[in-house]
Structure 1
Amino acid sequence: MKALLLYPQFPQSFWSYDRFMEIAGLKAVIPPLGIITVAALLPQDWEVRFCDRNVNHETEADWKWCDLVIISAMLVQKPDFLALIQKAVRLGKKVAVGGPYPTSVPQDALDAGAHYLILDEGEMTVPQFLEALTQGKAQGIFRSIEKPDVTLSPMPRFDLLQRDAYFMMAIQFSRGCPFNCEFCDIISLYGRKPRTKEPNQTIAELQALYDLGWRGSLFIVDDNFIGNQRNVKRFLRELIPWVKQHNYPFTFMTEASVNLAEDDELLHLMSEAGFYAVFLGIETPDQDSLQVTRKLQNTRNPLVEACRKINQAGMLIYAGFILGFDGERSGAGQRIQAFVEQTGIPQPMLGILQALPNTALWNRLQQEQRLIADNGMTPVGDQNNLMNFVPTRPIGEIAKEYTEGFWTLYDPANYLRRCLQQCLSIGSVTGRKQTMQFPSGKGLRLVAQVLWHQGIRRSEIRMQFWQQLWIILRRKPQVLNMYLGLCAAGEHFWEYRVLARERITQQLGYDPLQSALPEQKPVLVNT
């Protein structure tokens, strides 16, 4: 079998870092781990070609060569995903699809013409698919309620990647999350019992990347790295001597729940292992909204104090915030802005709540008949879509707070000020690498571009840039890479805030920053 594996393009989004990638001479932030794990599950006698369409496109020769096209996608990749299925069908190719999007909304892939739907987790369903092929079945849907033992998961095919096109490499240690946030689809996709790989299994993946020549930052893509705290500590205790022995070839970033701040031992181990950043799902400083959405882990201790502790452990904080929870009080956007300023989080991902398919939120809103079936926009995906349900306060008010908040938070002067504030608040770590690392050969270009764009070209922040750079060099030179990397990312966000405003304006029919809010009555529901 000759299989062409394709990963669809992302639209320009918060996480695409388009302008950053351009000035750094890169193509994408991280590689798609799911589909290269599927590649490792295929028979060894198959011929496999892989194209991440965010890096380079497949050729017409690839289409002619293949017998089978395999495509994996997330919801935000919907347009290119469906177009690829349709092209493959037109060319007479068999199409197999998988990943979070078709798992959540299988009908879309069927309507586009996909022959095989390999849903849920591939370790369980790829063997079902392969068995169907050997039996000559022309189509099929393969599902599994049972969750795989990830200690048996194969090593991803890192060799298929064009590694020099990415800002970071990626591995996965665990799947699942123990919490029960109403809006989150992770627990519906992967369950509430976090399953982890063995420490030696994960270190073997790191060794493979090391042997392939990768040096730099590495993203552990777990949706909650600390979901199983006992096992993550086992892993970290084996990781620390490995990174020391290899002279700290990687620095790590991951996602974790805010209760990370409650475990001093875990913070210390992550610091020792070389973790330089963590993404936190803070969502909102409003305690009543956290209760409504069942994010109770964020209510146990003051969130500002949690951020301070994580900073002191030597880690930069990225964080997500959401507007539009049921019962949310006016001014939620302003309260998020105040929280971000207080904590100095440089890149707050501010989004409008979406009801994702099969989540507890989706099911509740469906029962309350509040879901909007088709509002003419992509129903789920990027953070600047209006909600796909009827909210409890006026949609214009939420849109205004979102647009105003995003516009203000990513004002160039405000953004640079927070970059400095965050870098200065990070606890000192001596004797080891623990900062953002640029891929080999890309650092000098990136620094030169930042100096040109912000130190010379952008007159509105030129003086601020040089003053802050001098402060970093004088007071904390060990975080210089991190600081310049954050500055470079600003080039993306200053373009993206314009796009976000345009998208909201298009959906509303007016610019929320220039128009008075129309009269709207809130929807009253029992939450």
Structure 2
Amino acid sequence: MLAPVKDPFQQLPSISNDISAKQFEPLGQAVKALMVWPRFPPSFWGFEGVLEMVPEKSVMPPLGLITVAALCPSSWSIRLLDLSFEELREEDLLWADLVMVSSMQAQRTDTLDVLSRARDLGRRTFIGGPWASSEPEFLKTRADHVFVGEAEEVFAEIAYQLELGTAQSIYRVKDKPDMSVSPVPRFDLLHMNKYTSMSVQFSRGCPFQCEFCDIITIYGRRPRAKPPEKLIAELDALHALGWRNEVFIVDDNFIGNHKLALQLTHSLAAWQERTKRVISFYTEASIDLADKPELLASMVEANFMYVFLGIETPSAEALKGSSKFQNLRGDLVTQVSKIRESGLWVLAGFIVGFDSDDETIFERQLQFIDKTAITWAMAGVLQAPPTTALFDRMKREGRLIEDSTATTNFSPPNFKTVLPLPVLLRGLNTLLTGLYTPENYFGRAMRSLESWQPRPAQKPPELPLLYNLRVFVQSMWQQGVCSNYRLAYWRFLVTAIRKWAMQPAKMWLAFMVLLSANHFLKYARSVAEDLEEQCQMLEDAEPYPQGLVVAVESPS
């Protein structure tokens, strides 16, 4: 008697039955998969100015791709190309049966080029990642297979379908996987000496409801986390491969479930004792971390050195209008100080262009950032990413710019703003210029370091002496001799040595701040020049409207 035919979708949780009419050739069991991480354009967090002075070529690796690589059948041959420092050659594409790409929207240009080149050579293409989850219908025209959602519980079956030639053109996985099934990423595929940091993920999702955030629409509002022992296994793998530097825990809100985060930090503290604290951590969190002293203390004990906060704006009206209520529960200045004095140095993101913003917002942002002494402060314009509540509202109000090519928070918004666009862009220009003069940058840095109170448990990475000497010589030449801010550079360096030469944590961070000036000062100036050019183009064109008259919706 014949066994029943296996339903190829039986094991896929809540996956759409969107089967393409196109028939694909079977790939066979021994698939040769080329995984490609496209280039990012220069960006605020790209640290291109730092990479000019260090041996590494990129800030961090493609965690999503090496996680999917760990989900692939053992019979597959996998190669990984990171285009931030490698070239995609025709022979690489011809080697592959399947070209797999993960991408964020900021990588849009290079992603489309990779897909086009692969298809021109007759290679099968597969794309996943945040951009695919946001705009699958667009990418369906550029790739053979598009994956929407999270892959852990379904990719084994998808790989089987790829081998048989029965794979769909779009996979839409609606269910959120149990993070305990996520495998140890294939760190062995990386050129680890090319990265300044490694990355791991503990949790996905965030409990808040910020109108402009696509994290909650892509990953959900119920944070899901790995058991601590799973993350420890990933760190053990990195340690075994010889990693001895920083690790970024990439969670969009590490404390989304603060009880689980506390459990993890206790385990991390024990792991640090076992491994002699040769690795330090940094992550992202919501500002209510300031109200969780036990978690703060445990993060410090686990050797977290700094944290990124989504502060966005000092405007209560804008926070209410965007449903970022968690930032209204305390005094923002006090909360930043509390976190820093508890042992975590603070960097943050800021946004202008909310409906309630007027022309005073730029000076108010500048004053707030100066008062809190946040050295690495990313300020950009509001965007409405697909899938977000803001995107839906802009579309409902007829304000969405459907053909917008915005990919960063320095691009003109993808919706019609209340503030006239030239006012918004020129105001951002003024804000960035004010933040990143040498005097203001180094002044904030010095004050932030003076108020930062590291604890004995916090130990910076101990890099080889020759490495440190090489970077220091490069810094002295490029910044201390060739730059236009060399006097500010030497003042800061001499003061830092005088104050903190016997405090390794402070001296390490002071030197990171010093190196980063070569990025932030140059990048902010470049963005400001681009913004001014855009304003000139707008003003030279037909008269631009003075701005929309919009009734700002009260949050429900």
TM range (shorter): over 0.9
**Counterpart-to-counterpart distance in 2, 1:411 and 1:510:** 26
Q: What CA RMSD, in Å, does the superposition of the two structures yield over aligned residues? A: 1.9
Aligned to 1:171: 200
Out of 480, 500, 518, the position equivalent to 1:476 is: 500
Aligned to 1:309: 338
Do structure 1's residue 351 and structure 2's residue 380 form an aligned pair?
Answer: yes
Partner deviation per Cα, 1:158-193 (whole Å, 9 max, x = no partner): 000111110101100000001000000000000000
Shift of 1:443: 2.5
Report if the CA contact (8 A) 2:269-2:302 is conserved: yes
Aligned to 1:216: 245
Aligned to 1:198: 227
Aligned to 1:422: 448
Aligned to 2:525: 498
Aligned residue identity for 2:517: G
Do structure 1's residue 466 and structure 2's residue 494 form an aligned pair?
Answer: no
**Counterpart-to-counterpart distance in 2, 1:267 and 1:409:** 28
Do structure 1's residue 80 and structure 2's residue 110 form an aligned pair?
Answer: yes
Instruction: Indicate the SS of the match to 2:53.
Output: helix
Shift of 1:17: 1.1
Out of 20, 34, 38, the position equivalent to 2:64 is: 34
Report if the CA contact (8 A) 1:103-1:119 is conserved: yes
Aligned residue identity for 1:140: S
Out of 360, 383, 396, the position equivalent to 1:367 is: 396
Instruction: Indicate the SS of the match to 1:319.
Output: strand
Do structure 1's residue 123 and structure 2's residue 152 form an aligned pair?
Answer: yes
Q: Give the 3 Å change call, closer, same or farther, for CA 483–84 of structure 1 in structure 2.
A: same
Do structure 1's residue 104 and structure 2's residue 129 form an aligned pair?
Answer: no
**Counterpart-to-counterpart distance in 2, 1:438 and 1:362:** 45
Out of 209, 214, 220, the position equivalent to 1:185 is: 214
**Counterpart-to-counterpart distance in 1, 2:513 and 2:131:** 31
Aligned residue identity for 1:473: I
Shift of 1:509: 3.2
Q: Give the 3 Å change call, closer, same or farther, for CA 129–140 of structure 1 in structure 2.
A: farther
Out of 388, 407, 410, the position equivalent to 2:433 is: 407
Aligned to 2:359: 330
Aligned to 1:293: 322
Do structure 1's residue 47 and structure 2's residue 95 form an aligned pair?
Answer: no
In structure 1, the gaps of 5 or more residues are none
Instruction: Indicate the SS of the match to 1:458.
Output: coil
**Counterpart-to-counterpart distance in 1, 2:187 and 2:484:** 43
Instruction: Indicate the SS of the match to 1:23.
Output: coil
**Counterpart-to-counterpart distance in 2, 1:141 and 1:80:** 21
Q: Give matches, 1:116-155, under 5 Å.
A: 116-137=145-166, 139-155=168-184
Partner deviation per Cα, 1:93-141 (whole Å, 9 max, x = no partner): 00011000011001222222x1111221011442342232244226421
**Counterpart-to-counterpart distance in 1, 2:440 and 2:239:** 38
Q: Give the 3 Å change call, closer, same or farther, for CA 242–505 of structure 1 in structure 2.
A: same
Q: Give the 3 Å change call, closer, same or farther, for CA 174–439 of structure 1 in structure 2.
A: farther
**Counterpart-to-counterpart distance in 1, 2:158 and 2:409:** 34
Out of 479, 485, 507, the position equivalent to 1:454 is: 479
Shift of 1:461: 4.0
Do structure 1's residue 485 and structure 2's residue 512 form an aligned pair?
Answer: yes
Aligned residue identity for 1:184: C
**Counterpart-to-counterpart distance in 2, 1:115 and 1:127:** 18
Do structure 1's residue 59 and structure 2's residue 59 form an aligned pair?
Answer: no
Instruction: Indicate the SS of the match to 2:108.
Output: helix
Shift of 1:433: 3.8
Aligned residue identity for 1:107: E
Report if the CA contact (8 A) 1:436-1:485 is conserved: no
Report if the CA contact (8 A) 2:128-2:147 is conserved: yes
In structure 2, the gaps of 5 or more residues are 1-30
Q: Give the 3 Å change call, closer, same or farther, for CA 525–127 of structure 1 in structure 2.
A: farther
**Counterpart-to-counterpart distance in 2, 1:128 and 1:45:** 14
Report if the CA contact (8 A) 2:214-2:385 is conserved: yes
Partner deviation per Cα, 1:213-268 (whole Å, 9 max, x = no partner): 00011100000000111111111111111101211011110000000000110110
Aligned residue identity for 2:93: W
State the identity as a percent.
38
Aligned to 1:160: 189
Aligned to 1:9: 39
Report if the CA contact (8 A) 1:505-1:511 is conserved: no
Aligned to 1:396: 422
Aligned to 2:13: none
Shift of 1:456: 3.0
Once the two structures are overlaid, the 10-residue window that deviates more, 260-269 or 120-129, is 120-129
Do structure 1's residue 21 and structure 2's residue 48 form an aligned pair?
Answer: no
Shift of 1:277: 0.7
Shift of 1:11: 0.4
Shift of 1:445: 2.1
Q: Give matches, 1:227-242, under 5 Å.
A: 227-242=256-271
Shift of 1:436: 6.7
Do structure 1's residue 279 and structure 2's residue 308 form an aligned pair?
Answer: yes
Aligned residue identity for 1:466: W
**Counterpart-to-counterpart distance in 2, 1:457 and 1:503:** 24
Q: Give the 3 Å change call, closer, same or farther, for CA 181–436 of structure 1 in structure 2.
A: farther
Aligned to 2:27: none
Once the two structures are overlaid, the 10-residue window that deviates more, 320-329 or 253-262, is 320-329
Report if the CA contact (8 A) 2:399-2:416 is conserved: yes
Shift of 1:508: 3.0
**Counterpart-to-counterpart distance in 1, 2:195 and 2:463:** 10
Report if the CA contact (8 A) 2:279-2:460 is conserved: no
Shift of 1:329: 2.6
**Counterpart-to-counterpart distance in 2, 1:156 and 1:439:** 26
TM-score with structure 1 setting the length: 0.94
Aligned to 2:536: 509
Aligned residue identity for 1:213: G
**Counterpart-to-counterpart distance in 1, 2:445 and 2:152:** 41
**Counterpart-to-counterpart distance in 1, 2:454 and 2:114:** 48
Report if the CA contact (8 A) 1:392-1:525 is conserved: no
Q: Give the 3 Å change call, closer, same or farther, for CA 335–368 of structure 1 in structure 2.
A: same
Report if the CA contact (8 A) 1:275-1:434 is conserved: no
Report if the CA contact (8 A) 2:244-2:461 is conserved: no
Report if the CA contact (8 A) 1:40-1:155 is conserved: yes
Instruction: Indicate the SS of the match to 2:378.
Output: strand
Aligned to 1:382: 408
